[in-house]
Amino acid sequence: MAPDNALVRLETKRLTALFGRSPAVHEVSVFFPTNTVTAIIGPSGCGKSTFLRCLNRMHELSQGGWVTGSVMLDGDDIYDAGVNPVVIRRQIGMVFQRPTPFPTMSIYENVAAGLRVNGRLPRRDVDAAVEQALRQAALWDEVKDRLEGSAVALSGGQQQRLCIARAVAPKPEVLLLDEPTASLDPAGTQRIEELCHELKQRYTIVIVTHNMQQAARVSDYTAFFYMGKLVEVNRTTAIFTRPKQPQTEAYITGRFG
Amino acid sequence: MSGRSTRRRIQSAVMTGIVGLLCIAAVAPLLFIFGNLVAKGASSIDWNFFVQNPVPAGQTGGGVAHAIVGTGIIVGLAGLIGLPVGVGAGIYLAEYGGGKLGWIVRFLADVLNGTPSIVIGIFAWTWLVKPVGHFSALAGGAALAVLMVPMLARTTEEMVRLVPNSLREAALALGYPRWRTSLRVMVRTALGGIVTGALVAIARAAGETAPLLFTALGNLNFSTNILQPMQSLSLQIYVYATGPFEEWHRLAWASALVLMGLVLILSVSARWATRQRHGTR
């Protein structure tokens, strides 16, 4: 696929993810252009979530998880010896399938949680960053009067937008979304999808989804995974109108998966 | 109505009745003990009982101020020593205890948890009393701490393990270092349960007698010197209840009621502490 002269923010080179001795993702090489949304689709168990977790070094936290190959962030391999995965995870934010607000923290503290890991900041800066993040996550108007209130009292959709705010508050370069709407109702799903369009102005987004309509709605590029392999990646319109691989066509037309 | 349906209704009613009776059997001893204590001890409790020290045998009156303060000091020492060790070990077991060392520590904690308290008392005597040459409140506190540590470690571990793993992943994905994830997210989320576990352990230690027999020994006088023998309520009860005087028996009942009341207050505050969650604010 041609990157249309866009800068490449993130790129994998023959990335293989393993659990112990069994590989879950085989030699995937793909790149993610700056300020675009790339959807990763495929049937359950095809390795799409595992692949996503390799992009911010979360996979190695799983039991027996390790990788070969490389992941280049702005040209540097995040798996190089001497690279601190904790620092990488501050540059590459992640939102999970289920909302995970910290239950002991207020809404404000949740959003500020990732800001303070780099050391103490003046209260004014934190306030500003929290407001900006909540605005970016389209949650500010709903919570601005209850910032000190409990985060778990929010609805599921609000909690997920809170998690997005928490992920974008430290101003990462890349945002990884792992089926972010899987536990939300249609209204909540729609808000998150709208957010993707706005957030890609600032971030490079990779979204895993099992919902092909969602992929078609939110993404610029789509990668189709099957049995741990990257079958095809292209502009989303191309994938959905004239897929090159018969497997891709079979999946998007609903003949399997 | 069919016969089968009737039989099921009867079965259900019989089982509910049996379970109800068993519940009553389970709480009856507590009610009986407490009722008995109130009946026999309450009449001896007045203000003087809390603020005065004992009078010589044969005289009436006097109080157990020295034992109440002594229990507070000894249990306080036990908490000071036991809480950091026990809670720390529990956090380690929950967060890093997957390997062989974790397995060993967990196994030893379980063994220690099942060790009779009198054995712990003898152990404390051998190591903390005999070499020093005299009994002390500090040795008593240490013995109670040994008793508390395995309880604290296992309840803390279980409370931290109850915190969903998704919270750990969320914190790590934010760029939290592992130790910060453990403390700021996992332990903080489990804090209510840990506090309850700690208060239960303290309440249990406050009622122990056997470990103190060989360590704190007891004291007829008011003492706050932790390097000297010290009285505790449990020791006081033991001495008074086994003594020859009617007056002492009366004081033993009253002391038992006070001790029971203290433990009850701790248990109730444990419940209250867990109720106070950010989530319900």
CB interface of A with B, residues 95-114, below 8 Å:
96, 98, 100, 102-106, 113-114
**Chain B, 85-124: which have a CB under 8 Å from a chain A CB?**
none
State how far residue A58 is from chain B, nearest Cα, in angstroms: 7
pLDDT single digits (tens) B118-176: 999 999 999 989 998 899 999 999 999 999 999 999 999 999 999 999 999 999 999 99
Residue A215 lies in a domain: yes
Please report whether residue A257 resides in a domain. Answer: no
pLDDT, one tens digit per residue, over A53-103 is: 999 999 999 989 999 999 999 989 999 999 999 999 999 999 999 999 999
Nearest-Cα residue of chain B relative to residue A160? B170
Confidence category of residue B279, pLDDT binned at 50, 70, 90: very low
Interface test with B, best of A49, A56, A102 (most B CBs within 10 A): A102
Give pLDDT tens digits for B176-195.
999 999 999 999 999 888 98
With a pLDDT cut of 90, the percent of chain B lying above it is 56
What pLDDT is stored for residue A107 in this prediction?
Answer: 95
Contact B278 A61 (CB under 8 A): no
Pairwise CA distance, residues A141 & B203, whole Å:
48
B189/A102 CB distance under 8 A: yes
Judge whether A240 lies within some domain. yes
The DSSP line for B179-224 is HHIIIIIIIHHHHHHHHHHHHHHHHHHHT--HHHHTTTB--SS---
What distance in Å separates the CA atoms of residue A54 and residue A71, rounded to the nearest whole number? 8
Sheet of strand A65-73: strand arrangement: A22-33, A8-19, A65-73, A76-77
Asked if the structure places residue A50 within a domain, the reply is: yes
Q: Is the pLDDT of residue B87 over 70?
A: yes
ipTM of the complex model: 0.89
Q: Which CATH number fits domain B50-274: 1.10.357.140, 2.60.120.10, 1.10.10.10, 1.10.3720.10?
A: 1.10.3720.10
Q: Which residue of B has its CA nearest to A172?
A: B174
CATH number for the domain that contains residue A88:
3.40.50.300
pLDDT at B104 over 60: yes
pLDDT given at position A126: 92
Q: Taking 50 as the threshold, does the pLDDT of residue B31 lie above it? A: yes
Indicate whether B219 pLDDT > 90. no
Closest CA to A117 of A93, A137, A97, A99: A93
- Chain B residue with Cα closest to A100: B167
- Tens digits of residue pLDDT in A33-54: 999 999 999 998 899 999 999 9
Residue B174 touches partner A, C-beta closer than 8 Å = yes
Does A2 map to a domain?
no
Q: How confident is the model at residue B278 (pLDDT cuts 50, 70, 90)?
A: very low
Place of tokens 């000190």: A148
Low-confidence residues of chain A: pLDDT under 50: 1-5
Q: Which of chain A's residues have a Cβ under 8 Å away from the Cβ of B176?
A: 86, 113-114, 117
Question: CA-to-CA distance for B136 and B150, rounded, in angstroms?
Answer: 23
Number of other residues whose CB lies within 10 A of the CB of residue A210 = 17
Give yes or no for a contact between B212 and B235, defined as CB atoms under 8 angstroms apart: yes
User: Contacts of residue B173 in chain A, CB cutoff 8 Å?
Assistant: 56, 58, 89, 93-94, 96, 167
Number of domains in chain A: 1
